[in-house]
Structure formats: structure tokens, C-alpha cells
Structure 1
Amino acid sequence: MLDKPLERITVEPITKATACVIWLHGLGDSGAGFAPVVPALGLPSDHAIRFIFPHAPEQAVTINGGYVMRAWYDIKSMDLHDRADMQGVIESEVLIRSLIDEQIALGIESSNIVLAGFSQGGVMSLFTGLRLQHKLAGIMGLSCYLPTADKLPNDLASVNALTPVLQQHGVQDEVVLLSAGLMAFELLKEQGYVNQWQTYDMGHNVLPEQLRDISKWLQ
């Protein structure tokens, strides 16, 4: 799993890219699931943001009867305190860090990189971003939670202590309960992170209204 770079869909701006958004999909999806959001964000036509939508590796997922699908980590149960297979989380973190390093090597300053994700991808966005030793422009987690449940991850990186964090969640989310996202938000807030919490009248999905708010936040 760790020996090759993540396959991905890349959407280049019309001008030379000086910034990058790495957007991680949810369980069983692929990068193709979120690639269409780029035009929907309504960014200025001359924006210089490269969007990267990586595909998670394929693996068996316990809660789905061991069915093999794209997943950033195995989900062992619906219990928040025993949901995420932490070994899998760490392995995916390594892959995501490599993707960030690749963009830095291509000339994008880490401080111009936003790490974003939905559901399981949002879990990885929060976990990886909070522990990353490169300063990021922002961290975004949609409809997600912390894999460490009611405590912050180990080895938090001080370099991202003041990095803006955006969390959005549906009040009717039946897959990742609102309380799980709120727990992550409160833990970050108590630690002094510059985080925002936005809720929407929806389930486990993404709304056009949300994309407008994300666009404002990115800009």
C-alpha cells in the first residue's frame, strides 16, 4: 500500500498554479466523486489553485461485511471509540504526506496548500493536517470526526496550531452523527485552534449552499 504514489484526478487552473487543494473522498467513493465541485465553487476565472482528488487504496472494510472498496482505513464498528483502524489511518497519513511533499517539490509553498476531505476523507484531513510538520493554508473536514474519538491525536504539530480549520456537518447526518463532529470541534477549540463550525439542514452529503461557504473560506 505504501510503495507507490496515490492515483488521482488533477484539475489545473488556467494560470500557473501557486496554490493547491488536496480533497480526500469518503468510504467507497473515488476522487471522481468530488472532482466536479471545482466549477461549482464559482472561484474567479483567473484563480491559481490546483485541485487534486486522490483515490484511496482498495481494502476490505469490516462494517461492510469485508467487501473490498476504496477506503482510507478499515472501519471496525459504528462505535466512535472503536471505529477507525488506527494502523490504516497511519498508513494513509503517510500516503497523503507524500502527496503534499510532491506538491512542495513542484514549487507550491506548503502555506498555500489546503487539506480537505469528506467523511472518511475528512477524518484523514483533520488527523494528517493537525500532525503535519509543514505549515498549511487551511484544514477542512466535512461530515467527519477525529479517529481518536474524544481526544486529540498524538504528536500535534505546533506549526499548524494557528492554521484555520473549517468543519461542516449535516444536522440530520445518519452516518456520522452530528455529536461526533461537534466533539472534534470542541476538542480543537479547547486546544486554541482557529476553527469554524457550520451546520446545514442535510444528511450525509454536500449542498450547493455549503460549496458557496467553502468557496468564501478558500478565498
Structure 2
Amino acid sequence: MSRVVPFLFSLAASLLDASLRRRAPPSQLVPKPMAAARTRSFVLWLHGLGDSGPANEPISTFFSAPEFRLTKWAFPSAPDSPVSCNHGAVMPSWFDIHELPMSAGSPQHESGVLKAVENVHAVIDKEVADGIHPENIFVCGFSQGGALTLASVLLYPKTLGGGAVFSGWVPFGSSITERISPKARKTPIMWSHGIADKVVLFEAGQAGPPFLQNAGLNCEFKAYPDLGHSISKEELYSLESWIRNRLKASQQREN
């Protein structure tokens, strides 16, 4: 049994400065009903083990470019569940984790992952039904949320704007590639991982790009030499630029 780890997530200390503590007005995080029809894009953020959605809402303050003016954000919280790597302790968890630190060969709880994917897809489907084009929808996540992000975008039947994985891992075996649709293979993936990560080892992140390449997907992978199991401002600024460029391209196609 792995050592007890109370939280799999950790925001870097730099995220605790004044710029991150500024909360976006509620209307920016969840558009009011009258503004919902004007929403042009959607960003879904999936937190790490033991964390919560509201605790991550300040992340949206990094996205102030004009392209995000009509963006709707969602920060859901995982249900409370017993977690094996923490000796069955109950905490917010998208699916069960058998051991920590997570390595490239760690056992995976595939059935739990697939159940969590269904819930993410339901969120995406609702936004599509409300009029947001799938290619303007982005799923992002940290650690356990990053693993769920990867699974969710790979198994969604349509091409999405992108999936961004931070300090995550591949949460299932190669046989899952048979379920990836041709449209899903066109969804771009951004992957960021700290080389100094002691919770989700860098080798677990490194296994992502080859897996995706074999599945026929493109992946932009970036390593951060001095970063542990946390998110840096640099990573978030890179994410802002990555999504913004895709929204600009989408708007140009529409025009």
C-alpha cells in the first residue's frame, strides 16, 4: 500500500499571489440565463484528487484576452469516494486510484474512469445542445483531473477544441484506442508535466505522447524542469495562448 497522500493536487505557491486571488465576477464564471445564448466557447476544468471545483475558479482570471469575453467556465467538484491509495479514506475523487506515486506502469481503475467519462460527456453534451460548437469546447484538468480530461476527449465522438493535461497520466490500456472515433482523433492535446513531480512521476507523463501518437492524435508536450506536482503561472499563460489561438481560428472560419 502506498503512503497516505491527503491531496493529489497542489497549486504552486506562485498561484497564491494577488493576481490569482482575484475572483472573476460570477457572471464570468457561469453566465446568467440571458447571457447564455451569447456564449461562444466553453472551458471545463477538472480538479485533482481531494480538491474542489470552487477552489480552482481563480484560474479563469488568467484568461482576460478579448477571445474569452463570451467564454463560459465550469469548475465541477468530484463526488466523495473512498480512495485505495489513501487506505480507503473518503475524499473528492473522480475515480479510484490504487497507488501513489503514479508511474507509467501503475494499475488503473478503468471501469471507474469510464463511468466518470460519462459524466463529463453529459456536461459537454449540454453545452452543445445550448448552441456551443464542439470545436469551441475545451476540457482541462490537473493530476487526476488531467487523466480524466484525456479519457474524456479521446472518447467523445466529436472533435473538440482541445484537451489540456497538467501533471496527468494515461488512465487506461492501449485497447481503448479501438473506441476512439475518427473525429476525436482530430482533437488537439496539450500536455504539461513537471520533471520534479514526485506524486505523478514524470515517466507517467512521458508515456502520454507515444500513446496518443499510436492512437493517431497530435500532442504538444512540454516539460518543466523545476516543477513538482503543482501548476505554475507559466503553464496557465501557455494554456491561455493555446486556447486563444484556437478560438481566433474558429472565429475566422465563422467569418
TM-score, normalised with respect to structure 2: 0.76
**DSSP 3-state at the match of 2:151:** helix
Q: CA RMSD in A?
A: 2.1
Bigger relative contact order, structure 1 or 2, given CA contacts below 8 A and separation 6+? 2
Q: What runs of 5+ residues in structure 1 fail to find an aligned partner?
A: 1-8
1:11 aligned residue (29, 51, 55): 29
**DSSP 3-state at the match of 1:60:** strand
Aligned partners of 1:126 and 1:138: how far apart in 2?
10
1:123 aligned residue (147, 172, 178): 147
Higher strand proportion, which one? Answer: 1
Aligned partners of 2:125 and 2:46: how far apart in 1?
16
Task: Map Cα deviations across residues 61-97 of structure 1 (whole Å, 9 max, x no partner).
Answer: 0111111111010111236444332121111111111
- Counterpart of 2:218? 194
Q: Tell me how many residue pairs correspond in the alignment.
A: 210
- Counterpart of 1:83? 107
Are 1:114 and 2:138 matched, yes or no?
yes
Aligned partners of 2:175 and 2:29: how far apart in 1?
33
Instruction: Give the superposition deviation at 1:45.
Output: 7.6
Aligned partners of 1:207 and 1:178: how far apart in 2?
16
Higher helix proportion, which one? Answer: 2
Aligned partners of 1:206 and 1:29: how far apart in 2?
13
Aligned partners of 1:146 and 1:152 also within 8 Å: no
**DSSP 3-state at the match of 1:51:** strand
- Counterpart of 1:203? 228
- Counterpart of 1:165? 189
- Counterpart of 2:79? 57
Instruction: Give the superposition deviation at 1:192.
Output: 3.3
Aligned partners of 2:186 and 2:217 also within 8 Å: yes
Are 1:214 and 2:254 matched, yes or no?
no
Q: Which has the larger radius of gyration?
A: 2
Q: What runs of 5+ residues in structure 2 fail to find an aligned partner?
A: 1-25, 245-255
Aligned partners of 2:62 and 2:240 also within 8 Å: no
Aligned partners of 1:168 and 1:197 also within 8 Å: yes
Task: Map Cα deviations across residues 130-181 of structure 1 (whole Å, 9 max, x no partner).
Answer: 11112201111110010125x3634112112122110000110011111111
Aligned partners of 1:60 and 1:67 also within 8 Å: yes
- Counterpart of 1:153? 176
AA partner of residue 153 (structure 1)? I
Aligned partners of 1:25 and 1:83: how far apart in 2?
21
- Counterpart of 2:13? none
Deviates more, 1:47-56 or 1:14-23: 14-23
Aligned partners of 1:178 and 1:46: how far apart in 2?
31
AA partner of residue 149 (structure 2)? S
Aligned partners of 1:116 and 1:60: how far apart in 2?
24
AA partner of residue 54 (structure 1)? P
